[in-house]
Amino acid sequence: MKRKKSLFVTALLASSLIFTACASEPDENGGNNNQSPDNNAGNSGESAGGDLRIGVVSDPVSLDPHGANENVSNSINNTIYDGLVYQDENMEIQPALAESLEQIEDTVWEAKIREGVSFHDGSELNAEVVKMSLDRVRDEEVASPVGFLFGMITEVSVVDEYTVHIETEFPFAPLPAHLAHTGGSIVSPELVEASYEALENGENPFSVVNESPAGTGYFQFDEHVSGEYVRLVKNEDYWSEEEAGVNSVTFNVIPEDLTRIGELETGGIHISYPVNPSDVERVENADGTSIQQVSSSRMEYLGFNTEVEPFDDPRVRQALHMAINKEDIVNGVLNYLGTVAHGPLAPDVLGYSEDIDYIEHNLEEARELLAEAGYPDGFEATLLTDDERQRQDIAQLVQHQLSEIGVEVDIDMTEFGTYLERAQQGETEMFLGSWGTVTMDGDYGLYAVFHSDNKGVPGNRSFIENERIDELLDQARQETDPDTRLDLYEEVQNELAEESPYAYLFFPDLNAGVRDEVEGFWQYPSGFYFLRDVTLND
């Protein structure tokens, strides 16, 4: 292992947050069969309003914000629902359904709820409604895949009609960033009640909201044709003066990269996300399109299921990690549009450090470790991946690299929904995955992914269970001293280097293809994007 010597730390989140709403805020081949309704393909001369069309790689897992934690679902749900707060373009916390959020005690946050806000189904917002959603997302019987975000909350209490107290088990500085996550969205109280009725009847508690989602967001649900598109329309009664700039947005499901690019070039869609690195130059050179690019907080990795042989032996995992030439992946597959990952946290995430142990590419040492573990001639294994083109390219390169130490890999490629379900259920040996530290705080990038309490759906898909790692992560999220917290994160990452549940690969640049008539579109480092300010101009 090698140790990088200098330390890079981003600005720390404050241990308390107070804000008040501004005066302006009450304010490759083949055609595409997945066309949205009223799709005026090729019309690049639309004035303000109009139908914004976005090409996405897959159908959303759920239109219930408590029922999914993947990019397509979160990006759509970000437009339908509001939380108490949100993160702006600079990742700073801004007021949404809470006019103010204040840490009034070490373990108590007070939220003043905005008055006069209605849900898309006509229900009214108040403190009790906020409590219903925050209780629901934490309910173990509901089993929300984003419930881990709020595991430190012990009680949500209604003080008066528009005041809520949120109590935590310990002082937890990143709570506002967690509340800004899509998992902190406030759902219509009628739907919350209906979802509990479904649960009592043995049904999926997320099915009711998924079928007729209702939040308070700047877009509201219109239609979902599974596998084809999700269409939202402008919320004409949005509580803020900063309402949506277009009349509707349609998310067209177009799994094939080159088909999405073709639709972007002809005007069939206005935005294509993501754009494969190998297609960036094509989009840049096309007439009327360009690439919007941001550095990401998303870690791409080769994961190992630590509960199955031979991956239950850390020597095997380390050996495979050593066999991966990450530079070749970044240069050859990403066309240099990314950064090699030596640890699980991206450079802009709080907790990132260059002063951590990391595993260096070394084929000779990898072979020695395999022999020591009892596999001098290597072994056969299966690598699970989804059918996205970049993932396929990475899988093939990993397959070649591991063959150099005698590990013969069979690539098991499936569509994204099936891939995700199998990875969450531990039906894997090795798998390619990604995790975006959405909150930009190391707690999200480490606790969710490596704490044994979060095995499976919440994020720990290697099923790693290490008492020391659990202990350090528990200490870090309870620590109030910023320097001590960073030291704990460093120690966690050093322990992870020994365990190697993942071979960290890279932090990709995020590429969106955007037509010239689109203004006001921007991406979060996590890969979500913001649509309220988007306009379509002549």
Q: How far apart are CA 66 and CA 168, in angstroms?
A: 20
Q: pLDDT at position 417, please? A: 87
Instruction: Categorize the per-residue pLDDT at 528 as very low, low, confident or very high, splitting at 50, 70 and 90.
Output: confident
Q: pLDDT at position 369, please? A: 98
Instruction: Give the least confident one: 16-25, 381-390, 412-421, 488-497.
Output: 16-25
Provide the token pair at 235.
Answer: 């919320």
Residue 18, burial from CB neighbour count under 10 angstroms (0-12, 13-18, 19+): exposed
Helix residue ranges, H only, 67-186: 71-80, 127-138, 175-180
CA-angle at 521, arms to 518 and 522, nearest 5°: 150
Q: pLDDT at position 240, please? A: 96
| Mean pLDDT value of segment 381-386 | 97
Percent of the chain at pLDDT > 90 equals: 86
Measured in degrees and rounded to the nearest 5, phi and psi for residue 491 equal -65, -40
Measured in degrees and rounded to the nearest 5, phi and psi for residue 528 equal -70, 165
Checking if the pLDDT of 132 tops 70, the result is yes
Task: Confirm if 36 and 385 have CB atoms less than 8 A apart.
Answer: no
Question: In this structure, is the dihedral angle defined by the CA atoms of residues 93, 95, 96 and 99, taken in order, positive or negative?
Answer: positive
**Each residue of 263-293: pLDDT tens digit?**
999 999 999 999 999 999 999 999 999 999 9
- The chain-wide mean pLDDT, for the chain, equals 91
Kindly report the length of the chain: 538
Instruction: Categorize the per-residue pLDDT at 527 as very low, low, confident or very high, splitting at 50, 70 and 90.
Output: confident
Question: In this structure, is the dihedral angle defined by the CA atoms of residues 216, 219, 222 and 228, taken in order, positive or negative?
Answer: negative
0.85 surpassed by pTM: no
Strand partners, 158: 164
Q: Which helix (H) or strand (E) is 323 found in, with range? A: helix 314-323
| Mean pLDDT value of segment 422-437 | 95
> What is the CB neighbour count within 10 angstroms for residue 33?
9
**Each residue of 141-165: pLDDT tens digit?**
999 999 999 999 999 999 999 999 9
Q: pLDDT at position 459, please? A: 92
Torsion-angle region of 119 (φ positive above 0: left; ψ -120 to 50: alpha; else: beta): beta
**Each residue of 344-361: pLDDT tens digit?**
999 999 999 999 999 999
**Each residue of 451-485: pLDDT tens digit?**
999 999 889 999 999 999 999 999 999 898 999 99
Closest-CA residue to 71 (of 510, 483, 460): 510
**Each residue of 19-48: pLDDT tens digit?**
543 333 333 333 334 444 444 333 333 345
* SS3 category, 273: coil
